[in-house]
Copies of this chain bind each other. A is one copy, B any other.
Amino acid sequence: MAVTTAAYSGDNRSAQRGRPRDASRDDALRQAALEVMAEVGYRALTMDAVAARARAGKATIYRRWESKLDLVIDTCTQLASQNLATPDTGTLDGDLREFLSSFAAFLSGPIGKAAQALVGELPHEPELAAAFRETFLISQRNVLRGIIDRAGDRGELRPDAPRGMAVELAGAALTYRLMLTGDPLDETFVNKIVDQVLVPLIKS
Contact = CB atoms under 8 A, between A and B. Distances in A.
Interface of A: 39-44, 113, 116-124, 129, 133, 137, 162, 165, 168-169, 171-173, 175-177, 179-182, 192, 196-197, 200-201
Contacts of A123: 113, 116
How many protomers of this protein does the assembly include? Answer: 2
Contacts of A162: 192, 196
Given A118-B120, A119-B119, A168-B176, 17 more contacts: A41-B121, A41-B124, A43-B43, A43-B44, A116-B120, A116-B122, A119-B179, A120-B120, A120-B121, A129-B182, A133-B180, A133-B181, A165-B197, A168-B173, A169-B172, A169-B197, A171-B180
22 contacts: A39-B124, A40-B124, A41-B121, A41-B124, A116-B120, A116-B122, A116-B123, A119-B119, A119-B179, A120-B120, A133-B182, A137-B180, A168-B173, A168-B176, A168-B181, A169-B169, A169-B197, A171-B176, A172-B172, A196-B201, A197-B201, A200-B200
A118 B194 CA distance: 30
A179 B119 CA distance: 7
Given A43-B44, A196-B162, A200-B201, A119 B168 contact: no
